Amino acid sequence: MSTAIESPSTAAIAMPRPPVKRSRPTLPRTAAFAGVALAYASMYLAAGAPTPLLVQFQQEWGFPAGLLTVAFAAYAVGLIASLIVVGSLSDFIGRRPVLIAALIVEFGAMLLFVFAPNIEWIIIARVIQGVATGAATSAFSASVVELAPDRYKKLGTIIGSTAPAGGLGLGALLTGIAVQFNQAADAMVFTALAAIVFVGILVAVFSRETVTTRPGALRSLAPRVRVPRVARSEFAAAIPVHLAAWMLAALFMGLAPTIIRNIFHIDSGFVNGATAFLEPGSAAIVGFVLGRFTPRRTTLIGGVGVLVGTAVIVAGIAFQVLPLLWLGGVIGGIGFGASFSGAMRILGPLAQPHERAELFAGVFLVAYLSFGIPAIITGQLVGPLGLLPTVLAYGAAILLAALVGLFTQLRQARRAATSATTTTATSATAAATSA
């Protein structure tokens, strides 16, 4: 009786092999970085698109001016609600799931815009659009930085702070052109945006994940804003900076078409869109130009720009000189872009990777409270006070906030200089003692 003995090689062949786990196809890092940056900008492109259309809807549907500003600011309300609930979710479950879900919701909002029969539907679409943008904003801001190749890290931070302004301005400009030359501009604009958002969904699907999941996702959904302790002083000092800059952005994005029509007596989709574009468009461009300056210096330059630009805008409106309004928009836009970009560059390095989305959520919460709430209040005051006095009072509030912002930033600069001097002196004393 003989016993068959398997050789090692035979045994190895006979044993079943574990299934091979196929890796998910992903875009190359540079392509993913560029694609996510463009998808991020497209969210704000869509947010800026309704600006020239709202005045046209008002003419067609006959709703009051107060409802127009509600339709504009409903976006900010949805965004704020989303930010405080899911703003930090991507720190726990990853960037990709949040971005994919948010872009799908944004796609649905675009379809609502296409088929909206009245202003109530527009308001609902704006709220849903705000919810999508709020869910995606902090995840996009973090993802753009994290996907950036090492040589583009600084560019990623700059894009994170300039894409919102650039997208808002470009969306208003392109829609204004469409309104001027196309009778069905709303359907054309939002159909095109739906297609762009769909491409953004594909980019998010095929981008790699940049953070490791961790427990606590359900707890993170409790409405809250948490700023890392080390960043709290700078965060507080930046609040009046954001308030002035984003109130100025709301003046151009929400009120400019009404101002052009009722104060300057010009009824033109192109002029509305171009005027709305000037401030955020300048903000986006200057964010790249001033990237070589230190964050603090950039923020201070921005504060001065917002202050001077607002003063020129108020003069242009008070004396009904349209070129002054445009000039003030460019100067104020430079200030907006510089102050927001500089403040983001100051805050960004103060957060650990797992805290970054939560910190950015806090920044955008302040920004969009400043963007939406004053615009709603202003819209309700237009009826009893009149458009011109209300807009001038709004401009005065921006000037006050800009002055406070400059003061807080100068104080932070002095503190940083004092701390650096103390550290240098301590190091020198320690070196002398050891010698």
pLDDT at 7: 43
Task: Answer yes or no: is 285 within a domain.
Answer: yes
pLDDT at 231: 87
**pLDDT of 319-357, one tens digit each?**
999 999 999 999 999 999 899 888 888 887 887 777 776
| pLDDT of residue 424 exceeding 90 | no
| pLDDT of residue 430 exceeding 70 | no
Where does 212-347 have alpha helices with state H? 217-220, 232-250, 256-262, 269-289, 295-318, 322-347
CA quadruple 53, 58, 63, 66: dihedral sign: positive
Higher pLDDT, 186 or 400: 400
- What is the residue range of 366's domain? 27-213+229-416
Amino acid at 103: L
Rounded Cα distance, 371 and 110, in Å: 22
Q: How far is CA 428 from CA 108, 314, 373, 410, 420, in A?
A: 62, 52, 51, 27, 12
**pLDDT of 144-201, one tens digit each?**
888 888 777 777 877 777 777 788 889 999 999 999 888 888 899 999 999 999 999 9
| pLDDT of residue 29 exceeding 90 | no
Instruction: Tell me the two tokens of residue 102.
Output: 């948010």
Q: What is the CATH number of the domain that holds 355?
A: 1.20.1250.20
pLDDT at 435: 57
**pLDDT of 210-237, one tens digit each?**
888 888 888 878 776 678 888 889 999 9
Answer whether 341's CB lies under 8 Å from 138's CB: no
Q: What is the DSSP letter of 18?
A: P
Give me the number of domains the chain comprises: 1
Instruction: Tell me the two tokens of residue 100.
Output: 């994919």
Task: Answer yes or no: is 218 within a domain.
Answer: no
Task: Answer yes or no: is 53 within a domain.
Answer: yes
Task: Answer yes or no: is 13 within a domain.
Answer: no
Task: Answer yes or no: is 186 within a domain.
Answer: yes
pLDDT band at 5 (very low <50, low <70, confident <90, very high): very low
| pLDDT of residue 423 exceeding 60 | no
Task: Answer yes or no: is 425 within a domain.
Answer: no
Task: Answer yes or no: is 37 within a domain.
Answer: yes
Task: Answer yes or no: is 427 within a domain.
Answer: no
